[in-house]
Structure 1
């Protein structure tokens, strides 16, 4: 295969998978109110659909590298696309909330293997001189997904039927599988080593039970006692994993990386920030549709504006970080991002659409700056040989924090709705949820303040650090 073709076609194949995942995640939140009504539940309960997908991601991301080494990257990548497609079809066929939640978990398993293994394929298939160009190709679907997804999902939901949104993935997935078969070598490691099964069971079981139990609080699917018991058992398993992981050489998730100040600030402080931001894609479409009475299409057309703010900010991130440094930027911007989230809670019926657009646009600017800074800072002090294992830790914590944001937002919204005594969800029920998740973004500041004042300076100034 010619080098020029390989540099283009391999990232294109991975981009197919990434586009599927990004579009799927954004179309579904726009369709939640209509989906909830068809399944006989209130829209708040549908937080389970978002959380179950994140659980699938968080559980299986840590082992994707080992699975790719053991069974071959092409085999795993194609299988992951197939699993994701199967989950999509199960979502479309769901007749109950339980089935829909299970189908979303299946999608999460596919997504957990699909994109990370795709990145592994790129870095193993291409020479290092082509890495930057290949990664640039990958940014296109990452940016287009949040732009295309909300209005597309809103249009299908408003003028056709929500079940059709899950068929968007099928032609893209089939095309990706076909391309992978033709252009990707099935690279595998001869001796991938043993998987840390005890660590995987403890971490996966603990995270799943804790997140699922928290999501079930206040729902009709389980009693309060059952939900709390699941949370307690999950927390105990996670605590056991913490002690276990300190005592073996290569645990499935090596939490010792959190001792590095820059990594700790990026992952733990960043996770507090992500709790706030993870709730917005869930809360905002509900606010616009259930609170302000907009159609799914209009709500989707407004929601996607934040993606334009994110794209614009990416052009200025390097200059901002170079001018002010990581520590100062992340502290000040956390306040601005938290405020931009909280103000969405004060949308009211009759509010001019242009003003809503402007606020949502600003809500894309500040989080984009924070995300880019946090993701860049994570590896500032990580040795090159440890980047893969550190990435697993960061990815799992990040995904679970996004899911935790949806869960917390749903609980606060449910409490607000109950206390205010409205028979249905109204616009004034939403402001406490936006305020709480906005405060989570601000809560990342104490963690960030523990960083050295010059943390990440080499990255911000563009100097190449030694491995």
Structure 2
């Protein structure tokens, strides 16, 4: 086989992995009311279906690179797709909410390795000159997932059943496994660096405990359990500090946090994404439960946000070059937070075009926000810390997505119960998560803007 053909096949394999992971992050949202009805539960208690998937991916992402080094890219990527397909089958066959959550965890185990190992395989196979173009190609697949996911989920619910939002992964996954077995190189190494399992366990325990601390009150109103989980998460995070100081090769070196923009960007990302990640979960529920939209129509309503986000990416670099990261993030955060609050004003009497406009503004600003936050957080890291810094950053992104869904769902339940109105519950929830996003503007004001940033390229955004 020619080298170019092999590289083309590799890019398609990586793109398929990106697409499956991105698709299953969004395709569930518009199907939640139908899934809840089928499983005999209320739609507002379905957020663990999303949280279980994102949190599992967050906790296992750091191990993906080591697994690829130790057992070979081909074997690990093949196994990741296999686990993802098996998890999808289990999701489709679930008869209770508990079974579906367990199946989503299994799906998340496979999903946690699809994107990082696909990116790693491309990095190792193509030249430095081709790498940016290769990543640009496979990132299109990642962008396509959020665009088609909500609409495809709504169409499956109406045309067949919600089970098909998971079964669609089976033919894609089988084709991917065949391609991986045939085209992907092995590259196993018995001399792979030792993996910091205790450090990974502490970081993962901290993330899981914090996430469950937010989710428990919404599910069972047990404040004591929530407090205990919060303390557990805090203790695990604090214990990692002396552990990392003693270990010569920790999972995440403490030197990462000596880079000011990395610390500021990490915290700002967490706070900002908590608010913006609640929107893809809350908006389809608002449209279906309060405004009477069908699953397909609510999915189509989410498309303007995704399309505007994809189109807005070309504006990021020129705007940052002109205004700098600090000014851009300050203004853009206000737009993102303001558009989230604006969802509270949408009612049955709101013209459809107004709703589409708010979604498009949110989608465009949110897309630029993510790209700018990614760039400012990672751009100052040394070559030595770039890999681990990117891994920790990916974990925080996934954690924020889960927290956003948990907090958004909890707020709707609390406000609806307190005032006896689900409509008011949704409105107040949008105001609260919008304010959380707006609060991140205060964090981004602490960005240390280097003079070269205003003149230099921002190719990483």
TM-score, normalised to structure 1, is 0.94
What does 1:31-430 correspond to in 2, within 5 Å? 31-220=31-220, 223-422=222-421, 425=422, 427-430=423-426
Q: Tell me the secondary structure at the aligned position of residue 297 of structure 1.
A: helix
Q: Tell me the secondary structure at the aligned position of residue 46 of structure 2.
A: helix
- The whole-number CA distance in structure 2 between the counterparts of 1:395 and 1:249 is 23
- The whole-number CA distance in structure 2 between the counterparts of 1:428 and 1:253 is 43
Relative to structure 1, is the Cα distance of residues 194 and 162 closer, same or farther in structure 2, using a 3 angstrom cutoff?
Answer: same
Q: Is the 8 A contact 2:317 2:458 kept in 1?
A: no
Relative to structure 1, is the Cα distance of residues 402 and 64 closer, same or farther in structure 2, using a 3 angstrom cutoff?
Answer: same
- The whole-number CA distance in structure 1 between the counterparts of 2:146 and 2:45 is 23
Relative to structure 1, is the Cα distance of residues 455 and 67 closer, same or farther in structure 2, using a 3 angstrom cutoff?
Answer: farther
Q: Tell me the secondary structure at the aligned position of residue 81 of structure 1.
A: helix
1:1-58 CA distance string (max 9 Å, x none): 4332233221110111111111122110110111112112211111111111111011
Q: Is the 8 A contact 1:7 1:130 kept in 2?
A: no
Q: Is the 8 A contact 1:269 1:444 kept in 2?
A: yes
1:163-200 CA distance string (max 9 Å, x none): 11111111111111111111110012331122212112
1:456 Cα deviation after fit: 6.6
Question: 1:457 maps to which residue?
Answer: 453
1:245 Cα deviation after fit: 2.3
1:261-298 CA distance string (max 9 Å, x none): 12123221122111111111111111111111111100
1:85-116 CA distance string (max 9 Å, x none): 11111111111111111111111111111110
- The whole-number CA distance in structure 2 between the counterparts of 1:228 and 1:97 is 25
Question: 1:19 maps to which residue?
Answer: 19
Question: 2:439 maps to which residue?
Answer: 443
Q: Tell me the secondary structure at the aligned position of residue 217 of structure 1.
A: helix
Q: Is the 8 A contact 2:276 2:437 kept in 1?
A: yes
Relative to structure 1, is the Cα distance of residues 400 and 302 closer, same or farther in structure 2, using a 3 angstrom cutoff?
Answer: same
Q: Tell me the secondary structure at the aligned position of residue 191 of structure 1.
A: coil
- The whole-number CA distance in structure 2 between the counterparts of 1:396 and 1:255 is 16
- The whole-number CA distance in structure 1 between the counterparts of 2:259 and 2:225 is 38
For structure 1, the 5+ residue unaligned runs are none
For structure 2, the 5+ residue unaligned runs are none
Relative to structure 1, is the Cα distance of residues 255 and 404 closer, same or farther in structure 2, using a 3 angstrom cutoff?
Answer: farther
- The whole-number CA distance in structure 1 between the counterparts of 2:257 and 2:87 is 34
The RMSD of aligned alpha carbons is 1.8
1:377-397 CA distance string (max 9 Å, x none): 222211223211111111111
Relative to structure 1, is the Cα distance of residues 185 and 258 closer, same or farther in structure 2, using a 3 angstrom cutoff?
Answer: same
- The whole-number CA distance in structure 2 between the counterparts of 1:124 and 1:30 is 38
TM-score, normalised to structure 2, is 0.95
- The whole-number CA distance in structure 2 between the counterparts of 1:359 and 1:348 is 13
Q: Is the 8 A contact 1:157 1:296 kept in 2?
A: yes
- The whole-number CA distance in structure 2 between the counterparts of 1:317 and 1:388 is 24
Q: Tell me the secondary structure at the aligned position of residue 325 of structure 1.
A: helix
Counterpart check, 1:434 vs 2:433: no
Q: Tell me the secondary structure at the aligned position of residue 89 of structure 2.
A: helix
- The whole-number CA distance in structure 1 between the counterparts of 2:38 and 2:441 is 42
- The whole-number CA distance in structure 1 between the counterparts of 2:14 and 2:199 is 29
How many residue pairs match? The answer is 460
Relative to structure 1, is the Cα distance of residues 336 and 36 closer, same or farther in structure 2, using a 3 angstrom cutoff?
Answer: same
Q: Tell me the secondary structure at the aligned position of residue 194 of structure 2.
A: coil
- The whole-number CA distance in structure 1 between the counterparts of 2:393 and 2:341 is 26
- The whole-number CA distance in structure 2 between the counterparts of 1:286 and 1:253 is 38
Q: Tell me the secondary structure at the aligned position of residue 162 of structure 1.
A: coil
More off after superposition, 50-59 vs 244-253: 244-253
Q: Is the 8 A contact 2:411 2:425 kept in 1?
A: no
More off after superposition, 379-388 vs 166-175: 379-388
